[in-house]
Structure 1
Amino acid sequence: MLSVPASAQTAPGADAGDEEAGQEITVTGYSRSLEEAIDIKRNTIGFSDSIVATDIADFPEQNLSEALQRVPGVTIERERGLGTRVNVRGLPTEFTFVSINKLATASGSGGRDVEFDIFASELIQSVTVQKSPTAADEEGGIAGSVYIRTARPFDNPGLRLVGSAEGAYNSISEKIDPNFSFLASNTFGDFGVLVSVAKQQRSNRTDSNSGINFRPISRWTDKAGANRDQAIAVLARDAGVTFTDDMKNRIVFLDKVGDRVYQNDQDRLGLSGSIQYQPSDQFNLVFDAFAGSYDTVEDEYDAAGYSASSNSTLDTIHEFDATTLADDGIIVLRDVSYTNTQHEFLSKEYRNSTDYRQFGGEMNWQAGDWKINALGGYSGAKKTLDYANLKHVAYAPSRTRYTETGGETIPSADPDTIDMYNAPESYLFEAYETTRERIKDDKYAAQLDISREFQTPFLKRFNVGARYTNKTNERDYGEEKIQGPTRGSTAYVNKRTLADSPLESVTEIVGGKGYQARDLDWAQVSNEYARAFFRPDGFVTPFDDGQYYKVREETIAGYAMADFEFELAVPVFVNLGGRYLKTTVKSEGFHQVQNADGSTGYTDAPVSSEGSYEKFLPAINAHAELTDSLILRAAASQTLIRPALTDLAYKRTASWNSFRFTDGNPDLQPTYADQWEVGIEKYLGSGGILAASYFWKKIKGVVQSELTGVVEGVTKYNANGTIDGVYDFDVYQPVNAEGSYKVSGVELNAVIPFGMFVGWAEGFGINANVTFLDSSLTGQSDLDIATSPIGLADNTYNATVFYERGPVSLRVSYNHKGAYVERIERNMYPVYRDAYGQFDASASYQLTPNFRLELQGINIGNAKTTGYTMDPSFPTTYEFSGSRISLGVRAQF
């Protein structure tokens, strides 16, 4: 468990006169935060870990997910150098329930997972990761529940003003980004008001040699003709392989090798406010508001050799590997010349705008032995996504092969070959493709909890409560393709070349250093020019009825639980309870129909489908105080996670290159888990703790994508409107898989202030944790290739060494996540993300009692992201996002 860097405090008892006379400044914020987090852990009935921000701007990370990565059992997913989603105990992100101020959080993702990168961490007061639920906790966290709490005025009564400003430098983009935050809080007798704001801009560049995936030889052998015959003949001639149909998915080649430069610009604004009425310790009424916006523009410049083009085939196999993956019967064509590679220059632009808001009220009232807690509120997010892709294509013979770190496409021996990076006149304009997506995510909730205290030797408290939630997710989506300078024009199809557009070096377009992944440079069309040239006035990407869906989920839940205290050689505390819930789901969308003329269309009005389920979920949490500082803790429960709203959606999407339709499934049931945990905690005093626990989960009804049908005779078109062929398309749906799997693990956690052992080490300490995981689940490979579950890393560990004495605070952290399966390529070949470790550091100096200077570094070792397909000798990703150094000042009054 971790808190965040220090806030300034003078020595106990100091007054303003002392400070003015030169009172020595002592920084105690980090240690104090550690002690507060340990107190939360000790006083929670079940298993939990917390981080606490004693003041605004105490989180040094880029967003909230990066602050959470140091909590025991918590890892994060990174996308191009930025933490995004949170994994608890190695389970998928959608298995984690997230709430802000006790209300379920919307982020516009359309799933159960929350996109933490949209939240400014400076607005957060504390975060607790609850790993063993009680009956009163809202269901929904098989992995765990993340409870986020924003600041309130009576957290620190009186007038309080805190502000910070910093500039952050990225080592690759070489840009400096500003970051500001401010908090004002005051209490006026029984009333208190708090307002805070955080504003951040972030510019980050990522260079990547990636997209190097397996493609089965069935790409050509499934179609009769000369390309099939030649592929089979070359396999026999150069690799000695006699092809049979049962080998079609076990002979693989490099599908696409790409060199990419990403430039991501983010603009985040967060606001929080709180009005609190607290006339006494027996009554408290508070209204919280949490709102903000998160806008990103990402430019991707991609130069790629697509060896699997439909009008190509094998020419010469220079090297093949039949031994590395022999246990799975897979032959890898490592180095191949192809007859007609599709070379692509892609200028892609992603625009994402998310507006989120949350409003809620809570009342706590105690009258004698009775306590009443009531809360209600709304959480919502609106997201719009605008995507564009300017595509130029050149067909020519080329050679594609693996390199030590990735892959490359080079000229072949064929006289018609080209140098794909330096032949702009060979690339024909194919299309300017656009998509537009709009997602609206709304959640309403209300809860009433009533408890009564009992002055008996055994029963201490009894709770009953009820909760109502209503969640709606609505999505519109559409595509538009321009193949000329105006809508519908074909005047320049196959006539306009890449050379006819103004070209610039990709590194000059995005700015910063030279390309980091390889010794390479190339020229492309900037997205700024593409947007201006290819989008005429009035251009709008229309929404497609067939892609619309709306899912509404309504849940009513009731619970009861009791707390018991008794002596059994030592004091024992038990919380026992159960929760009953009933959920109704209604999904609607436009259904595909056959018109009288034989064409396909959609119904005039949305067609709906309904489903429902109900469940009783028991829970028990207990701990025994073996000594004043030694606690034995245990918990057992049943819990669930509901299907992603996108999986429930009544719609069909097509993946033309994969020859696949994907349907939603409104009849999906939740995924359930039986779980238990036992642990021991030794509290050392002086802000120290040693803790160890063993947890076990049996997960049933996990949602997996499975083949549920086939659509025959589907015509597939090329981008230029010509027919690629007529194929049978598989239909996949998310379903609740039969059977169950088990996940178990061990968590170890230590916070040790060294000063408790020797005086000279006062101020030094370490905060470290490690998690070991094991699972019986294998990945969803159609070839029955054994893999661990997607996202599950067998081990994670984090360590922070800190020093805090006088006006100085120092911290160095290392965060490590082991290798894990990132996805199953084509539902057949597991693709792994390599183990990843990153060093972060921070230093601060308290200049005066009111001002502090701060220096922070993220990924100071410039760790790269790498990945591979099945074996490290087949790399897929080689990615650099650089380090980030920030310098700032903070004021507190």
Structure 2
Amino acid sequence: MTHQAHARGAAGSQLRFVPRKQLLASACALALVSTFAVHAQDAQQGQTAPAQQNPDVDTLDTVQVTGIRAAVTKAVEIKNESTSIVEAISAEDIGKLPDISIADSISRLPGLATQRVDGRSQVINIRGMSEQFAGTLLNGREQVSTGDSRGVEFDQYPAELINSVVVYKTPDAGLIGQGLSGTVDLQTVRPLSLGERRIVFGGQYEANSFGDLSSDGEDRGYRASASYVDQFANDTIGVALGVARINSPFQEKHYKAWWWADMDAVDWGDPPQPGRPANAIALQGSEGWVKSRDLQRDGVMGVLEFKPNENFHSILDMYYSKFEQDEVMHGVMWNNDPWFQNGGVSYSNASTSQYQGRDVVTSGTLNGVRPAVRNDSNQREDKLFSAGWANTFNWGDIYTLKTDLSYSRAERDQSVLELYAGRLGGQSVDFNLRTDPGFAHYGLPDMADPGAVYLWDPQGWGHDGRMEDSFQKDTIKAGRVELNRLVESSDFLRSFDVGFNYNRRTKEKVATVFFADLPNGRTPTLVDPSLLYSPTSLGFVGMGNILSFNPRNLLNRYYDVYVSESNDDLRKDFTVEETIKTFYAKANLDMDLTDKIRLRGNVGVQYIRSEQSSTGFNANNNAIVAAQTLGTSYGDILPSMNLVADFGGGWMLRFGAAKTLMRPPINYLSADSSASVSDSSPALWSGSGGNPKLEPYRANAYDLSLERYFGEGSYVGLAVFYKDLETYIYRQNFPQWDFSGYDPDGKTPVSNFGNYSTWANGTGGYMRGVELSGAITGEAIHPVLEGFGALLNASYTESSIDPDPGDNSVGTDTIPGLSKIVANATVYYEKHGFSARLSQRYRDRYRGEYSALFGQRQYRFTLSERVLDLQFGYEFPETSKLSGLSLLLQVNNLNNEPFRTQVSESTGTGLFFPEEYTEYGRQYMLGFRYNL
């Protein structure tokens, strides 16, 4: 299926609505044509499809196909049999999920999208909401995160060790740790369910199409995995072990325009810049760099399963991963706004171009610029451990008792270092800019000459280098008990569950910032050639070669390093603790409404008691004034209902209604603050910080889905959803905040009340949307198409929520993660051992949340993207001496789709200009898999 691109206006920034309609119409038409084609075929043959003969589609249990078709068939079966509205991914065998990462696989599901971070899929947005609104489970247990908040980074979980994924779009009273937008449950293999011994190992060679962008970067890597699954003692004991290692290179060509403004439009007191065209919008700063990342991850999975009889079942599972990333960056950046060097930058030969009726400076020469050559070394190590022990006891053929103990821990140790260099004095820089996304072009003097490029601070940042070391730890200890009772005497109530879950979570972070200065104001050159790498080329933006070195080799040799922390730096340290007690009850329903309509599902309720507290620092004048511990507690009653009406012939209507919540991002709960009394008269309190008394996002959710299942692994579905958010969390100002208990640092305020800026619960709004999805095999249309198949989905989502009610920026106030249009298309062919798969995922423009300067979080407006992936495979037949061996070629990001962001012009014109434009290249993987 071809996705329609966003059409742009003459200036290239205004998005039209018509292609969105075309996109949805195309997907709907294709799904309907497929359905009618199946009906026509059934009529010609004078018989019903297998699903029509049995509404439960039990025939799926006997499917013997393998590979892609087997995985699709199993996923459709999971969706069909669930009482909730779910999406599923299933591996035909352990280690055979079809994508490079779990995030890639999940993002192809209806209504889901991935956000690329550093060139790879990392976090998942469900139904237009950021990763902070989604719950993530491993084998049904809530997982910790390696980031600052709750959003799980899925690249921590090797696809080779995950056997299936179920995404719950509707809540269930028995589902613990669920999110407001949805819940992702990653599942490892259950060896007794597999029923046979499996020994599998494989490997892949990996390369990036960019090659070596810098002499200290890597463009080649590998992946290796092995797994063992077996059963013993008459299939009463099952064991599964898996290991996976990835050594993966990522390359990056990056350009960023800092900010755009018409400096004559407002009186900011800026000095004049000779040669700058009057009343023209101009770019105020730029950067270009290359990055190379060497990512290494080791994952281990283990499962011990014991089922001696029908009355006792025990499963002990464990998962561990160690994730290491070594990133190097070599680049150039500069500021050329009027305040730099007190107006020391001037223009010559400046020319303008028209952009949506405004003059924009697009070419000329900047004089007096002091480009900074930056060499960065960023090191990161993440450790993730999760373990759980679940037991099931049955007695009397009526009662089932389940217990579950679990522990999850994540640690991140990170160091970010940057050192600066540059030529002495002001430089002239030729420029040729674009008003549409793409690489700009600059002409710089030689920035690679070791005799002319000095170690110093050319941009006047106040230090010659900066390093930030941070450590954070997130732990969850949980226990659960559940009792199920069968009800044989009822015509509609099949069983009911009652249960209790206890969850204790602690997240702590510590960060220290160091400055590096050259002693006695020296500006040395690197005369020792052993300290230099070969120059790095920034030719893709015309900047030429730049001086390149390893900053960690120079840090102790040339610099004085000392701790230097601002108020913001001191406030990064915090501890947050949560104790969540969940009581729940659920009735499981199954009844025949008529001879042709069967109704099944569940009705239940959760009561959640939440207690939270945080310890943080109050910082003032770059020093810690006091530590403080604050918190609160609250309770929520969350009813839920999931009903499935089975009309026979493969037709199903699903309805879900629930009240749900998502606890605030953990970093919002920090007790940090920067509060002080003003020096001027009157002496008033003011400050800002986190809010440990925040309550959750709360919503009432309604879902309706009409689905038609036909044949093996084929269906089409249309779903609509509506979420009424009763409350949303905003950054707000409180003019009458009580500062009692804050240290005035020797000053006497006229009142204990003042202005405080913090996160707080406010008015909500709606999220609503429609999703169309389908899976169809070629033989369901016509026998000649046997082996072909397609997975198609498209969704449209909109929201009334303005997350920044005080911001008047035009067109930028969208809920984080909301792409109005998300679409995916996969076509495949699999027959006689040969397989081919082509997948494209598309997401509309959205507001993404990213790490920004000095580790702060920042919202950026990310443009639409299409990512195309290709896969070829061949599995040797059983008659071959190479039986059990399969070969695989994969190309990720086949179209080298760039990452693009926009920024609004800073003086209120409402225009958007290009901001970041980054290319990551193609990832090639060639490998094998052998099943003994």
Question: TM-score, normalising length from structure 1?
Answer: 0.83
Q: Taking structure 1 as reference, are residues 153 and 523 closer, same or farther at Cα in structure 2, changes over 3 Å only? A: same
Q: Taking structure 1 as reference, are residues 591 and 796 closer, same or farther at Cα in structure 2, changes over 3 Å only? A: same
Matched to 1:90, the amino acid is G
Distance 1:733 1:150 in 2: 44
Distance 1:752 1:88 in 2: 24
Say whether the 8 Å CA contact 1:410–1:420 is kept in structure 2.
no
Say whether the 8 Å CA contact 1:392–1:498 is kept in structure 2.
no
Question: For 2:790, which of 759, 766, 769 is the aligned residue?
Answer: 766
Q: 1:341 aligns to what?
A: 369
Matched ranges for 1:539-688 at <5 A: 547-569=572-594, 570-592=597-619, 600-603=623-626, 606-652=627-673, 663-688=689-714
Q: 2:14 aligns to what?
A: none
Question: What stretches of structure 2 of length at least 5 have no aligned partner?
Answer: 1-63, 213-218, 458-463, 676-685, 738-753, 877-881, 905-909
Q: Taking structure 1 as reference, are residues 197 and 866 closer, same or farther at Cα in structure 2, changes over 3 Å only? A: same
Q: Structure 1 residue 437: deviation in Å?
A: 0.2
Distance 2:65 2:888 in 1: 13
Q: Taking structure 1 as reference, are residues 623 and 161 closer, same or farther at Cα in structure 2, changes over 3 Å only? A: same
Distance 2:756 2:121 in 1: 31
Say whether the 8 Å CA contact 1:300–1:347 is kept in structure 2.
yes
Q: 2:386 aligns to what?
A: 358
Q: Taking structure 1 as reference, are residues 709 and 354 closer, same or farther at Cα in structure 2, changes over 3 Å only? A: farther
Q: Structure 1 residue 107: deviation in Å?
A: 2.7
Distance 2:400 2:137 in 1: 23
Matched to 2:341, the amino acid is N
Q: 1:727 aligns to what?
A: none
Q: Structure 1 residue 538: deviation in Å?
A: 13
Q: Taking structure 1 as reference, are residues 346 and 633 closer, same or farther at Cα in structure 2, changes over 3 Å only? A: same
Q: Structure 1 residue 542: deviation in Å?
A: 6.1
Matched ranges for 1:7-86 at <5 A: 28-86=66-124
Q: 1:230 aligns to what?
A: 272
Question: For 1:705, which of 731, 738, 745 is the aligned residue?
Answer: 731
Q: Percent identity?
A: 22
Q: 1:197 aligns to what?
A: 243
Q: Structure 1 residue 280: deviation in Å?
A: 2.8
Deviates more, 1:737-746 or 1:794-803: 737-746
Q: 2:134 aligns to what?
A: 96
Matched to 1:454, the amino acid is V
Q: Taking structure 1 as reference, are residues 868 and 547 closer, same or farther at Cα in structure 2, changes over 3 Å only? A: closer
Q: Is 2:775 the partner of 1:754?
A: no
Q: Structure 1 residue 155: deviation in Å?
A: 2.7
Q: Structure 1 residue 833: deviation in Å?
A: 1.8
Say whether the 8 Å CA contact 2:240–2:304 is kept in structure 1.
yes
Q: Is 2:289 the partner of 1:260?
A: yes
Q: 1:785 aligns to what?
A: 810
Say whether the 8 Å CA contact 1:816–1:837 is kept in structure 2.
yes
Question: What stretches of structure 1 of length at least 5 have no aligned partner?
Answer: 1-25, 242-251, 412-416, 485-489, 655-659, 712-729
Distance 2:454 2:687 in 1: 31
Q: 1:208 aligns to what?
A: 254
Say whether the 8 Å CA contact 1:546–1:602 is kept in structure 2.
no
Matched to 2:832, the amino acid is G
Say whether the 8 Å CA contact 1:635–1:678 is kept in structure 2.
yes
1:827-860 CA distance string (max 9 Å, x none): 9x98532211121111211123311111111112
Q: 1:802 aligns to what?
A: 828
Q: 2:168 aligns to what?
A: 130
Q: Is 2:175 the partner of 1:146?
A: no
Q: Is 2:896 the partner of 1:844?
A: no
Q: 2:356 aligns to what?
A: 324
CA RMSD of aligned residues (A): 3.4
Say whether the 8 Å CA contact 1:27–1:846 is kept in structure 2.
no
Q: Taking structure 1 as reference, are residues 263 and 646 closer, same or farther at Cα in structure 2, changes over 3 Å only? A: same
Say whether the 8 Å CA contact 1:27–1:806 is kept in structure 2.
no
Q: Structure 1 residue 876: deviation in Å?
A: 1.4
Question: For 2:897, which of 850, 857, 863 is the aligned residue?
Answer: 863
Q: Structure 1 residue 169: deviation in Å?
A: 1.5
Say whether the 8 Å CA contact 1:139–1:641 is kept in structure 2.
no
Say whether the 8 Å CA contact 2:484–2:496 is kept in structure 1.
yes
Matched to 1:365, the amino acid is F
Distance 2:772 2:279 in 1: 53
Deviates more, 1:781-790 or 1:443-452: 781-790
Question: For 2:341, which of 296, 311, 314 is the aligned residue?
Answer: 311
SS in 2 for 1:94: helix
Question: For 1:433, which of 436, 459, 466 is the aligned residue?
Answer: 466
Say whether the 8 Å CA contact 1:436–1:541 is kept in structure 2.
no
Matched to 2:252, the amino acid is T
Distance 1:28 1:872 in 2: 53
SS in 2 for 1:31: helix
Matched ranges for 1:511-550 at <5 A: 517-527=540-550, 530-535=551-556, 547-550=572-575
Q: 1:17 aligns to what?
A: none
Say whether the 8 Å CA contact 2:95–2:163 is kept in structure 1.
no
Question: For 2:420, which of 388, 391, 396 is the aligned residue?
Answer: 391
Distance 1:758 1:409 in 2: 54
Q: Structure 1 residue 286: deviation in Å?
A: 0.5
Distance 1:516 1:689 in 2: 50
SS in 2 for 1:756: helix
Q: Is 2:317 the partner of 1:292?
A: no
Distance 1:680 1:188 in 2: 44
SS in 1 for 2:452: helix
Say whether the 8 Å CA contact 1:501–1:525 is kept in structure 2.
no
Q: Structure 1 residue 77: deviation in Å?
A: 0.7
Q: Taking structure 1 as reference, are residues 885 and 786 closer, same or farther at Cα in structure 2, changes over 3 Å only? A: closer
Q: Is 2:157 the partner of 1:119?
A: yes
Say whether the 8 Å CA contact 1:27–1:807 is kept in structure 2.
no
Say whether the 8 Å CA contact 1:671–1:700 is kept in structure 2.
yes
Distance 2:545 2:734 in 1: 45
SS in 1 for 2:75: helix
Q: Taking structure 1 as reference, are residues 710 and 745 closer, same or farther at Cα in structure 2, changes over 3 Å only? A: same
Q: Structure 1 residue 588: deviation in Å?
A: 0.6
Q: Structure 1 residue 685: deviation in Å?
A: 1.5
Say whether the 8 Å CA contact 1:297–1:352 is kept in structure 2.
yes
Q: Is 2:495 the partner of 1:461?
A: yes
Distance 2:922 2:440 in 1: 26
Q: 1:775 aligns to what?
A: 799
Distance 1:220 1:398 in 2: 27
Q: Taking structure 1 as reference, are residues 292 and 538 closer, same or farther at Cα in structure 2, changes over 3 Å only? A: farther
Distance 2:869 2:441 in 1: 36
Q: Is 2:485 the partner of 1:452?
A: yes
Distance 1:422 1:878 in 2: 28
Say whether the 8 Å CA contact 1:173–1:203 is kept in structure 2.
no
Q: Structure 1 residue 669: deviation in Å?
A: 1.2
Deviates more, 1:845-854 or 1:114-123: 845-854
Q: Taking structure 1 as reference, are residues 350 and 653 closer, same or farther at Cα in structure 2, changes over 3 Å only? A: farther
Distance 1:872 1:521 in 2: 31
Distance 1:475 1:543 in 2: 18
Matched ranges for 1:463-542 at <5 A: 463-484=497-518, 490-491=519-520, 493-497=521-525, 517-527=540-550, 530-535=551-556
Distance 1:575 1:392 in 2: 65
Distance 2:451 2:352 in 1: 32
Q: 2:461 aligns to what?
A: none
Distance 2:155 2:859 in 1: 27
Say whether the 8 Å CA contact 1:168–1:177 is kept in structure 2.
yes
- Equivalent pairs, count: 800
Matched to 2:194, the amino acid is N
Q: Taking structure 1 as reference, are residues 517 and 837 closer, same or farther at Cα in structure 2, changes over 3 Å only? A: farther
Say whether the 8 Å CA contact 1:377–1:445 is kept in structure 2.
yes
SS in 1 for 2:648: coil
Distance 2:263 2:241 in 1: 61
Distance 2:710 2:166 in 1: 21
